[in-house]
Structures are given as C-alpha cells and as structure tokens.
Amino acid sequence: MIELANPWALLALPLPLLVMWLIPPHRERLPATRLPFFQRLVDAAGITPASGAIIPARSLWTTLIGLLCWALIVLALTNPQRVSDPISWETAARDLILAVDISGSMDEKDFAGEGDDDLQRLAGVKHVIADFLDKREGERLSLIVFGTRAFVQAPLTEDLETLQDLLDSTEVGMAGPHTALGDAIGLAIRQFEASDVEQRLLILLSDGADTGSRMDPINAAQIAADRGVRIVTIAIGDPDGSGENRVDQATLEAIAQRTDGAFFNATDQQALEQVYARIDELAPRKVDSQSYREKRSLAHWPLGAAAIIILLVLMGRIGQARLRHRS
C-alpha cells in the first residue's frame, strides 16, 4: 500500500498557474536602433507598430514538460511511502519474581510427590515450578534464592529456559542454612526498580520462620506495598514442626496481607499446582498489544525523474545553441 507522508504538499500543484495569472510578465529594457525611415518601412510592410513589451510565446511541449517536472517535484515533496501489512505482537505488562527458599530445612524429604515416595522439598518445588514456567511465555521473570543471604540467580528476563537451567543447578544450602525472608523481599524490591510495568508480582516460597534477616519481613512487605509490589506467599513444609523446620504461617500471612496478596499452604505437588492456578486468577496476566508497519520512502523516484527530464531539456537547448552558432 502506498501512502503520502505529507499530503498537504499537493496544495502546491496549482502554484505555476497562479503565478502566470496573477504576476505580470517580466519587463526588461533592451537597446534598439533608431531608423530615420522607420515609418516608410512599416507602411511598406503594411503593419501598425505598437508600444509596450513583447511576451514571447511558449511552445506547447515546453509548457507540458514544465508542468510535468513541477508535478513530479510536488509528488516528491509529499514523500510517498510503501507501507507493509501490520506486524503485530504482544508483550506482557507484568513482571514476576520467584523467590525460592534453599535453606537447610528444604532438604527434608516430606514433600508428597505423584508416587508413594516423598520428595525432597526443594526437588518437589523445582518440578512444579518447571510446569509453571512453561506457561509464562512472553512474560519477564526473575529468580531469587535465599537462605542466610539472598541472591539474584537471574534478573528480569524473557529467557525462561536459562532461568529454568539456573533453578535446576540450585542446591540446598548454597545460600546458607538459615532463612532470611526480609532480605529476599528487599532484594526483590530492588529488582523491580528496573521495571516500568504497572503489575509487579513476587511469589515467595519458604518452609521456615525468618531466622537471619537484616530487614524485618513485615517492614519489607510494607515497603513493597508502597512500591506497588504484590506478594503471594506459599508455605512449604509442616506447620506443626519445630525449630527452623517450623513454618511461620502468621508472618507469611501478614506479608501477603500488607501487599494485598495471598497466602497458600502447599504440602504436595498437587496442592502447589493448584496454588499456581489460583495465582493466575488473583493476578491475571496483562498483555500489551503492539503493531508496526514498515515504511519505505519512494520520494527519490519522482525527484529523479524530474531531474532527468530537466537534464535532457538542458542538453537539447545546448545542442540547438551550438548548431545556431555554427551556422
């Protein structure tokens, strides 16, 4: 499809005609020879002399060529463009961070799998997260792991395969034996500072009470709420346990409540899968639709045609002048 980028330039098309009609011809004084027998000459020729300027007549071809060149120049000024069919794509308007607890307590083998044997807590979480990531195509995700300290395994990215590989290579105890919930939330907040989307969601998976944070988890949650971050907390483990293996449900619920999020308790793979389904209901994926049309300018074609015509006319006149000079 052809479009004109500057269609208003077409208003200049009748400009030569307006110039011819409204502006008087150019007047120029020329030297002349006075003849003492001028009157007898005009009487013998049978003509009546008149005073005033003489406007030389233009040939029809000269007029048509001039108008054609002008039309081509005006067409070039309109900047005609060849526009392609629209190329559309969708981008997610949501950034999501997974914060996974890899403290020493995640080594417990009490996570119910699909078979009869219980899985290591972290291994069961990894399996379900892999299915979750398969459904996140087009979204930006980040991975944070935490124990005694919190670390960014993968910044916000759409390369979910690499993110999955990094999660698979994560082992229990790599970040220390204790649990730093508040530090993980604070690190997620800093990650979201690089995001310019409106919907920011943090999914926090932990199996123990906060035992090593430099930042209080509730205060961190309040800062997250002020920054527009919504937190979904998922408890992994036995709520009736003791020591560091005990899940502090009250703290996890308070974190979710402060950020208008949600709290879930997942003790097996099926429950965790249902949690992820609920997350999509609580925070539906937002998508921005964008389209692009490739535009290629064609202005050089009419401009080049006008230049060639003018060049041919000039060469023709130069040739005629040389023939007259020789003769």
Distance CA 197, CA 96 (A): 11
95-144 tens-digit pLDDT: 889 999 998 888 887 777 666 677 788 888 888 888 888 877 767 889 99
Is 70 exceeded by the pLDDT of residue 199? Answer: yes
Is 60 exceeded by the pLDDT of residue 1? Answer: yes
Question: CATH number of the domain at 89-289, out of 3.30.70.1050, 3.65.10.10, 3.40.50.410, 3.90.1510.10?
Answer: 3.40.50.410
141-176 tens-digit pLDDT: 899 999 999 999 999 888 888 998 998 899 988 888
62-97 tens-digit pLDDT: 888 888 999 999 999 999 898 887 776 556 667 889
Tokens 């999020």 found at = 261
Is 80 exceeded by the pLDDT of residue 296? Answer: yes
Distance CA 210, CA 202 (A): 17
Distance CA 154, CA 157 (A): 7
Q: How confident is the model at residue 240 (pLDDT cuts 50, 70, 90)?
A: low
Is 70 exceeded by the pLDDT of residue 286? Answer: no
Say what the pLDDT of residue 37 is: 75
Say what the pLDDT of residue 255 is: 92
How far is residue 247 CA from its own chain's centroid? 43
Say what the pLDDT of residue 272 is: 81
**Domain limits of the chain?**
1-19+64-85+293-321, 89-289
Q: What is the secondary structure of 71-122 as a DSSP string?
A: HHHHHHHT-EEEEPPPEEEEEESEEEEEEEE-SGGGG---EE-SSSSEEPHH
Say what the pLDDT of residue 140 is: 84
Tell me if 90 sits within 8 A of 132, measured CB to CB.
no
Q: How confident is the model at residue 187 (pLDDT cuts 50, 70, 90)?
A: very high
303 Cβ neighbours under 8 A, 6+ residues apart: 72, 73, 76
Q: Phi/psi of residue 170, each to 5°?
A: -80, 135
In this structure, what token pair is assigned to residue 187? 């690190």
Q: How confident is the model at residue 319 (pLDDT cuts 50, 70, 90)?
A: confident
Say what the pLDDT of residue 257 is: 92
Q: What is the pTM of this model?
A: 0.62
Say what the pLDDT of residue 301 is: 92
Mean pLDDT of 208-228: 87
Tell me if 144 sits within 8 A of 224, measured CB to CB.
no
